[in-house]
């Protein structure tokens, strides 16, 4: 019990540094596995309804396994100018094809964030993390623990437990993980078919990388390659996690 109290207090400190409160409802949800309580009149409830309207467009060719709201809205510390961060899991081997199709989808063009420097990103969808099924294992730290437990599923909610089971280290932070009743069977990551998908994915990646350079986005090629090896595309600021963890360590 004393250890749980310490773990809960660590989370409170971490969230306090982010300007967010940790309620008893949060504690019961994260540490005891109770249902998450989201008031109907909250910003998060409104954003949830908005994202649900676009799920059918985000699920291109049925490749999507999971969609969740993350970031400031999921953490319940949003501001009016914030965009809506999304975490999307797709089938293996389709990473850059999926991202490319997202950017040209006519139903998503007006609602997706396009420019980091734009002053008109409030309420727009920001796909800042796309992972293949093989890419849902993350590094163990309090920042990632917070992100995993505050993400709000909007498509295939049961897959949240699959993600948590791929990150068994969350139990060391006190997180409740329901034992998976059945193991997800992802698309194969070997064999000729998967090899072809990897080749096709490279074909999709090259023009997107060129477009980033042409538009002056200054992509970090090393980071893109490292993330791809892990089965992900990461578009969130690379130093954001370190900044939050450093602040937490200084305040303990």
Per-residue pLDDT tens over the stretch 44-102: 999 999 999 999 999 999 999 999 999 999 999 999 999 999 999 999 999 999 999 99
- Summarize the confidence of residues 30-43 as an average pLDDT: 94
Residue 187 predicted with pLDDT over 80 = no
Order of strands across the sheet that contains 64-70: 152-155, 64-70, 84-90, 125-132, 232-234
Q: What is the pTM of this model?
A: 0.92
pLDDT in tens, 140-183: 999 999 999 999 999 999 999 999 999 999 999 999 999 876 65
- Summarize the confidence of residues 234-245 as an average pLDDT: 90
- Ordered by start, the domain boundaries in the chain are 39-238
DSSP-derived secondary structure for the chain: -HHHHHHHHHHHHHHHHTT----HHHHHHHHH-PPPP--TTSHHHHHHHHHHTTHHHHSGGG-EEEEEEEHHHHTT---TT--EEEEEEE-TT-HHHHHHHHHH-TTTTTTB---TT-S--TT-EEEEEEEEGGG-----SHHHHHHHHH-EEEE-TTHHHHHHHTTGGGGGGT---PPPSS---PPPSSSHHHHHHHHHHHHHHHHHHHHHHHTT----HHHHHHHHHTTEEE-S-TTHHHHHHHHHHHH-
* Euclidean distance between CA atoms 65 and 88, whole angstroms: 8
* Euclidean distance between CA atoms 215 and 210, whole angstroms: 9
In this structure, what token pair is assigned to residue 110?
Answer: 């007006």
In this structure, what token pair is assigned to residue 98?
Answer: 């999926």
- Summarize the confidence of residues 191-205 as an average pLDDT: 87
The predicted pLDDT at position 148 comes to 98
pLDDT band at 184; cut points 50, 70, 90: low
The predicted pLDDT at position 117 comes to 54
Report how far apart, in Å, the C-alpha atoms of 182 and of each of 158, 162, 165, 167, 188 are. Answer: 11, 9, 11, 16, 17
The predicted pLDDT at position 2 comes to 45
The predicted pLDDT at position 1 comes to 44
* Euclidean distance between CA atoms 45 and 186, whole angstroms: 31
Q: What value does the mean pLDDT of the chain take?
A: 91
The residue to which tokens 């064999």 are assigned:
191
Report how far apart, in Å, the C-alpha atoms of 45 and of each of 72, 153, 167 are. Answer: 13, 12, 27
Task: Compute how many other C-beta atoms are within 10 angstroms of the C-beta atom of residue 201.
Answer: 20
Pairing of strands 232-234, 84-90: unpaired
Q: Among the CATH numbers 3.30.460.10, 3.20.20.140, 3.90.209.20, 3.40.50.300, which is that of 39-238?
A: 3.30.460.10
């Amino acid at each position: 019990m004393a250890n749980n109290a310490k773990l809960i207090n660590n989370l409170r400190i971490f969230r306090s540094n982010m300007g967010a409160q940790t309620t008893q409802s949060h504690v019961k949800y994260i540490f005891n596995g109770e249902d998450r309580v989201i008031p109907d009149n909250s910003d998060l409830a409104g954003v949830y309804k908005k994202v649900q309207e676009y799920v059918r467009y985000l699920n291109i060719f049925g490749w999507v396994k999971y969609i969740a709201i993350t970031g400031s809205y999921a953490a319940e510390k949003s501001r009016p100018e914030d965009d809506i961060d999304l975490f999307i899991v797709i089938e293996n081997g389709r990473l850059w094809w999926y991202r490319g199709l997202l950017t040209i989808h006519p139903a998503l063009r007006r609602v997706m964030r396009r420019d980091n420097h734009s002053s008109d990103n409030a309420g727009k969808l920001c796909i800042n993390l796309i992972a293949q099924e093989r890419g849902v294992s993350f590094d163990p730290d309090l920042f990632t623990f917070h992100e995993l437990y505050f993400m709000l599923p909007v498509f295939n909610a049961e897959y949240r437990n699959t993600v948590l089971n791929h990150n068994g280290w969350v139990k060391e932070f006190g997180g409740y993980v329901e034992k998976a009743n059945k193991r997800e069977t992802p698309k194969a990551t070997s064999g000729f078919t998967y090899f072809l998908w990897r080749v096709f994915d490279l074909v999709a990646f090259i023009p997107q990388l060129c477009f980033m350079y042409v538009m002056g986005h200054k992509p970090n090629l090393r980071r893109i390659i490292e993330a791809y090896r892990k089965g992900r595309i990461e578009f969130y600021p690379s130093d954001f996690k370190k900044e939050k963890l450093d602040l937490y360590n200084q305040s303990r």
